[in-house]
Amino acid sequence: MFRLNIICVTLFLALLAFPSRVVFPQEETPTLVLSLQDCLKLALQRSAEKKIIDRELESAELSYRAAKLSYLLPQASLSLSSPGYSHVRDFFDVPPLGRTLYEATNYNHGGTLSLTQNLYTGGRLQISGTIDGYNSSNNRDPEE
3 state DSSP class of 56: helix
Q: Is the pTM of this model over 0.75?
A: no
Average pLDDT, the chain: 69
Rounded CA-CA distance 120/70 in Å is 9
Rounded CA-CA distance 142/100 in Å is 10
Domain ranges of the chain: 36-73, 74-144
Rounded CA-CA distance 117/124 in Å is 6
Q: Using 50, 70 and 90 to split pLDDT, how confident is the model at 59?
A: very high
Do residues 138 and 95 touch, judged by C-beta distance below 8 A? no
Do residues 110 and 132 touch, judged by C-beta distance below 8 A? yes
pLDDT in tens, 87-106: 556 666 667 766 665 555 66
Which residues have C-beta within 8 Å of that of residue 94, sequence separation ≥ 6? 101
